[in-house]
Each structure stands twice: as C-alpha cells, then as structure tokens.
Structure 1
Amino acid sequence: MTSTNPPPSTSPESRVPSSGYPLIAIIAGEDSGDQLGADLIGALRRRYPQARFVGIGGARMQAQGFESWYDIRELSLFGFSEVISHLPRLLRLRKALVARMVQASPAVVIGIDAPDFNLGVEQRLKQAGLRTVHYVSPSVWAWREKRAEKIGRSASLVLCLFPMEPSIYAKHGIDARFVGHPLADRFALVSDRVGARDFLQLPQQVPVLAVLPGSRPSEVARLGSIFIDAARQVAAALPGLRVVIPAANPQVHAKLKELLAGGAHDDAAPLLLDGNAHEAMLAADVVLLASGTATLEAMLAKRPMVVGYRVSPMSYRIARALKMLKTDVYALPNILARVAGLGEKPLVPELMQDDCTATNLAAATLELFHDSERRGHIVAAFEQLHRLLRGDLESHAGERAATAIAEFVDAGQTHD
C-alpha cells in the first residue's frame, strides 16, 4: 500500500484556481465509494470541464482523471476490531491527508461513505476553514440518532441516498438532501431473468440460487463456509438446483475457490464467477447473501432473499454493551419496507450472529423456494421500494448529487 508519510509540499502556484476551474477533493473508501466517486466526477466535470480532482479514490475514479494521493485499500476496513487493529496507521494517514488538504485549499472536500475515517477528516478540515460535504449518510435511522449532530460538525452539507434521512438531520438544523440511490438507476424496474441466465449460460427451466457471502476477504473468512454449507443443504433437498457464487474481487475469488475445493465437479457443482454479481442475482429465483449493500442490490433485482451475518465477537459485544442499535431489523430491504409503511413484520428473513448457521439459512432458503405466493409478495414490495429510491426526478442520482455540490461550491465562491 501507499505510504502514509506526509507528502511533499504543494506550492500555491500548483493549485487550480477556484473561480471557474475548481480544485475538488474527494475521499472515497472501498469499491462502492469508488463507483459513487466515479459517477460524481463525471457529472461534476460536465459542470467544470477543467476541474482537477484529488484525494483518495480507486481505479474507477482514476479512470475519470482523478489523482489519488493514497491507496483506497487503506480505508477498506469493517467493524470495531478491524479499525482498532489498524488505528495507528489510520491516524498517520488522517494527519498526513488533513495537512495536504489544508495546504491545497480545495473549493470543496467531499467525503464518500467511510464515516469512521471521513467524518474525523471532514471535521478537522471544516475547522480549518474548508467547505465540506458528506456523501452517503451513515445509518442514523439504525444507530444512535445523535450521530446526526456529530455529522453536522463535520459536514456543512449531507447528501442522502434514502428518503427518510433528511428529516432526521432537519431536527438538528443540518442541511441534508435526498439525491436518490445510484444503484436504483442501474437496475430496470422490470428485471430480465431470461437475459441473465443466457448471459451466464444457465438453463432457463431449473431452480437457481445465488450465494453472496460478502465482498471482503474478512467477511468470506467468517461467513463463506457457513453459506456454502447452507447452499449444499439446499441443493440436497431441491433436485436440479444450480448454485451461482459471484466473487467480488480476486482475493474473495481465491478464498471461495479454496472453500469449494473437494466438492462435486458435475453440473450440480456451484458455479464460481469473477464478478457479475448483478447478473447472478437477476438469474436467481432466491438469493442467499450477507447483510450489507448486496441486500439492496438483490432488492433492486426483485429477487426474494435470505439474509445472514456475523460480526466479530468483539464488535458484537461492544455494540450490545453500548446499546448502539436502535432497530430490531438489519437488512436494508426490511428497514426500507418498514419506513415505507409496508408493515412492521420483516419482509425477508434475516438471521444474525448466533442465528446465522448453515442449518438455519438452508431452512429459510428452502421455505422461500417452496412458497411462490410469498415470493410474489416480496417482489411486489421490492418494485414499490425501487420506485421510492429512484425518486420522481428524471436525472440520475450522480447528477443530482453533482447539482447539489455545484450549488454549494458556487455559493462559496460568491461569498469568498
């Protein structure tokens, strides 16, 4: 990974003028942030053709002309225990990044997701007089709502992906705007199972189960064997079942290949894919997956799902001891369904922590395969939620986010 030592100084003459050709700083964490950042850069560049974009970003952002000062993998952490073990390195990175940002004096600093890192950076930069935006609100509706006040100390503008979020910030006097969820723009309202199966060369008339045990190697190490064992139990009980397992990246692919070693090698063997998670979901009748963004993707694919998850025992004990969670459901489709008034009962089964066993996951998955009426109810609810996330606007989420940021930047230049 890239060193986190303080970088060489940047002279004022090297800065892009803020009037007309702004220097825009973006700090993205993980693959999802890289995709959001790439979409945002493309939309902002249409407004500022000669803008310069700097900060932390991945390959997609760099393909848009972004200058990444550090490796995005430096921020790809999850859970209390993982952050704690990397804390000294993260603190060095934060110190170096803040110093470089202050020296560069961008027109705006946009933190994308990664709140454990970005909010601390944004707060220091805001105190230093820079204008800050946080894109992707932390889950204030699931965790302690007072976090909204902390976010307001870090960002002058919060861009929200979910429609229920701005009202929470409004209680604390914080400017927050719903821009829509970018994933909602990438899925058709009517999904194409036939096309997805043709693409993956899967038979049209057999039951298909997509299995996604996480996008990080640490998640797959914790959950992979449980999910694969569950899939094998489902396959033993459901003749002709085809199992498809998309790997998020090469590291995850290698780990899944290791976990699958020793299994059957006939047509019934799980099909391990390099990527193509969306196609795998669209091709499936049911999806078995780890809690996280993938549950939103499966919802937008209109696929009934079973959700499972386990965090490290330390992370779980800390969250329970501090009473940090304010919700009794965890999967995004269940949270959104409740917010949308579709009922208090969970829309899809979710099995968390000690309940997340191969036997429990397999039983819940088989129930969905055998209950076509319930699957139809879930699909209808997913269609309604998809429309909610897209909003009533014709433009895409990235365009709406860029519009809000451009207004924020231009207002700052007017007052400078």
Structure 2
Amino acid sequence: MVAGESSGDLLASRLLSGLRPQLPDALIHGIGGSRMAEYGFRSDWSMEKLSVRGLFEVLAHYREIKGIQNNLRDQLLAEKPAVFIGVDAPDFNFGLEAQLKQSGIPTMHFISPSIWAWRGGRIKKIARAVSHMLVVFPFEEEIYRKAGVPVTYVGYPLAEVIPMEPDTAAARVELGLPADARVVAILPGSRMSELKYNTAAFIGAAKRLAQRDSSIRFVVPMAGDKQQAYFNELLSKAGLTEVSIQVVAGRSHTAIAAADAVLVASGTATLEVALFKKPMVIAYKMMRASWAILRHMGYQPWVGLPNILAREFVVPELLQDAATPEQLADALWKQLDDEQHRENLYHRFTEMHHALLRDTAKESAQAVLQLIGRSANS
C-alpha cells in the first residue's frame, strides 16, 4: 500500500480496519503513516517524502520521489504481492500501478482522482493501471463502468467517523475555548508547500476579523511538529505574531467541531468541514507558474468538494489572486454573521452526510478479498 499524506493515511486506516481481521498474518507494507501502523502496517519510506503538491513544487523533488518509486517497483516486482493498493497520491501511484499490473500483479486504487473536475482524459491511463477502483462518491461509479474499469462504491470513510451531530461544547472544553465565544478554525493545509503559500493570506484574514470583533478566537491545527514549526516561522516573517491564535498539534477534527466557521485550504479537509456541518470559506494559493497552468485545466466551475457534490456554490471559493486577506475576511464574516445561511448549510450538509454513509471498512475489505481470490471470514 502507498498513501502519500495524512488524509490518505486516515482513509487507508479505514480499509485496514476491515481487512486486517480477515488477513491477520499478512505482511502489509509500503508507504504510509501512523494510523495505518495501528493495523500492523510497515512503512518502508517516510510518507512525508510524497507530501508535495503543485506542478513546479513536485519538479523540485522529482529525482528523490522518482527514486523511491523505482525502488519500490523493483521490490514489489521481486516480491509479487497478492495485491498493490494505491491510496490517493495519483501522480505517484498510477505510474507504479501501471507497471505492476503489466507484470501480472493485481492493483487497486482507493479514492478516484477528481477526473470529473480536472483532467478528464486521465481515465484511459487509469484503465491501464488499475485492476479495481474504489470510489467514495456515488456518481463516480457510472464514470468508471462506462470506461470499463471494475469499480465499487464504498462510501466516504469519514462519514462514519464524524458524528451526525457534532458536539461543539465538548470540543471547546477540550481546547480550552470559551463556550460562548465566536470561534474560527483556520486550516491552511498539511503540506509544507500549502503552508508556504496559504499562511500569510489566511492569518491576514484572521487579523482583519479580529479588528471587526476582538472577541473572536482563532484555532489552527497543525499536522505535525515540522509543520507547526514552519507555520510559526512564517507567522513571524509576515509580522503576524500579534494575531491571537491558538495553534494545536493534530486534533483537526476537534478544532473544526469547536468552530463557528472555518477557513480551509481546498482539498479533502473541505468535505470534513461539511460533515461537521460548519460554514466555511474554501481558499487556495500556489506557485504562480503552477496556477497559470492548472487554472485552464478545470472544466466545471467548482473546486471545493462540498460545492462539487452540491453542484452549486453553497460556500465561497477564493483561489489564488482572489484569496486576499480582505476578501477572505469579508467572506468569513458572512459565514459567521448570516444566521439564515448558517441554518441552510446545516441542512444541506446533513443531507450530504447521509448520502455518503456506508460501512466503508467492510465494503472496501470485501473488494480487496474478491480481487485476490479470498473469501471473507464469518
């Protein structure tokens, strides 16, 4: 198995929670994180090596990443595992999967890339690389069936983990936040490159919100010690240390649950915020050269997962040059201040949560067992 970042580690752990009891003695290894390790997964390389996003950012680390891919490929071709499972990280995993499948090793990919949002032509490459696709959104099944790719809809794993009615009060107690304060969670991303480009604008927005209402409390969860140190360094360089924020290690779900509104980098976290039924502003910044290319590759108007699932802009998206501190602060203020909008979002996100509920661990594990010709234990 290969997972390339913290969200993939979490998703993979849901699959492993269903698979490990069925294969208690199996060696399961590759690249992954601490949550996968809880189910006996052995990581041969650090997951952080793959946590790079953006065309030019990847190029800067290309040699190292390609070296890891080649070494892992050679190891697996010699080992001939029962199955290889790529968890997200499509740019790394699809190339590896294609070579393994060509050599007769069954390949499974967990979570489809957003071919329906960006590079639609990629489906032909996926068909050559993947023996079986696990998808987390119901509309994705038809896309793969039409392309002749075996597919199973397993539901969105976090829809089971996140409660239908989040306990905001308990989350605030855990974080030491006042019960009656207005709280904004800021999630600038888990990758170092995301922190580099998003931090100044995100915290600049917090500064402007604090000027409007000095009682607002801000909480920023960080994915790890390295990210937290880098975030604090960027705060200092940007001269934003006067903004009163609470930085917490991990506990992103607790921070979201505690919040009245969330400023979140585009990606998997946007759907987590929706499952917590929280108003949000989706934003993203990247290297200008990367943006110049990627901005022309989308063929639908939405980037954020909640908007894509809703098929409309239920929450605002502010990307690249539009993601200024001023515009982010204005958009966040509405998320905090418009009670009718907040109520409407709660109902929309509750409907979305119900639609994404499945027994993901069981469904995904069953698909793996069928692919490798094993039957489930009763």
Q: Give the Cα separation in 1 of the matches to 2:167 and 2:144.
A: 37
1:348 aligns with 2:321: no
Q: Which residue of 1 aligns with 2:331?
A: 364
Q: Which residue of 1 aligns with 2:136?
A: 161
Check conservation: 1:30, 1:72, Cα contact below 8 A. Answer: yes
Q: Which residue of 2 aligns with 1:329?
A: 302
**4+ residue runs over 6 A deviation:** none
Q: Which amino acid aligns with 1:335?
A: I
* From 179, 194, 198, the counterpart of 1:204: 179
TM-score, normalization by structure 2:
0.94
Q: Which residue of 2 aligns with 1:19?
A: none
Q: Give the Cα separation in 2 of the matches to 1:279 and 1:132.
A: 35
- Alpha-carbon distance, 1:271 to partner: 1.2
Q: Give the Cα separation in 2 of the matches to 1:349 and 1:284.
A: 17
Matched residue SS, 1:46: coil
Matched residue SS, 1:177: strand
Q: Which residue of 1 aligns with 2:366?
A: 403
- Alpha-carbon distance, 1:205 to partner: 1.3
Q: Give the Cα separation in 1 of the matches to 2:93 and 2:341.
A: 41
The Cα offsets for residues 306-348 of structure 1, whole Å up to 9 and x where unpaired, read as 111112111112224xx4211211111111111xxxxx3x000
Q: Give the Cα separation in 2 of the matches to 1:264 and 1:404.
A: 49
Check conservation: 1:132, 1:156, Cα contact below 8 A. Answer: yes
1:390 aligns with 2:357: yes
1:175 aligns with 2:143: no
- How many pairs were matched up? 373
Check conservation: 1:29, 1:57, Cα contact below 8 A. Answer: yes
In terms of Rg, which structure is larger? 1
Q: Which residue of 2 aligns with 1:9?
A: none
Q: Which residue of 2 aligns with 1:272?
A: 247
Q: Give the Cα separation in 2 of the matches to 1:349 and 1:263.
A: 25
Q: Which amino acid aligns with 1:373?
A: Q
Unaligned runs of 5+ in 2: none
Check conservation: 2:196, 2:234, Cα contact below 8 A. Answer: no
* From 85, 88, 91, the counterpart of 2:63: 88
Q: Give the Cα separation in 2 of the matches to 1:331 and 1:81.
A: 22
Which moved further from structure 2: 66-75 or 77-86?
66-75
Q: Considering only aligned residues, what root-mean-square deviation do their CA atoms show, in Å?
A: 1.7
The Cα offsets for residues 44-69 of structure 1, whole Å up to 9 and x where unpaired, read as 12112211112222233233222222
Relative to structure 1, is the Cα distance of residues 148 and 242 closer, same or farther in structure 2, using a 3 angstrom cutoff?
same
Check conservation: 2:57, 2:193, Cα contact below 8 A. Answer: no
Matched residue SS, 2:372: helix
Check conservation: 2:6, 2:223, Cα contact below 8 A. Answer: no
Matched residue SS, 2:115: coil
Q: Which amino acid aligns with 1:384?
A: E
The Cα offsets for residues 345-380 of structure 1, whole Å up to 9 and x where unpaired, read as x00011011101000000111122221101111111
Relative to structure 1, is the Cα distance of residues 264 and 62 closer, same or farther in structure 2, using a 3 angstrom cutoff?
closer
Q: Give identity over the alignment, percent.
A: 41
Matched residue SS, 1:254: helix
TM-score, normalization by structure 1:
0.86
Q: Whose relative contact order is higher, 1 or 2, with alpha carbons under 8 Å and at least 6 apart?
A: 2
* From 377, 384, 395, the counterpart of 2:344: 377
Q: Which amino acid aligns with 1:408?
A: L
Q: Give the Cα separation in 1 of the matches to 2:111 and 2:279.
A: 26
Unaligned runs of 5+ in 1: 1-25, 339-343
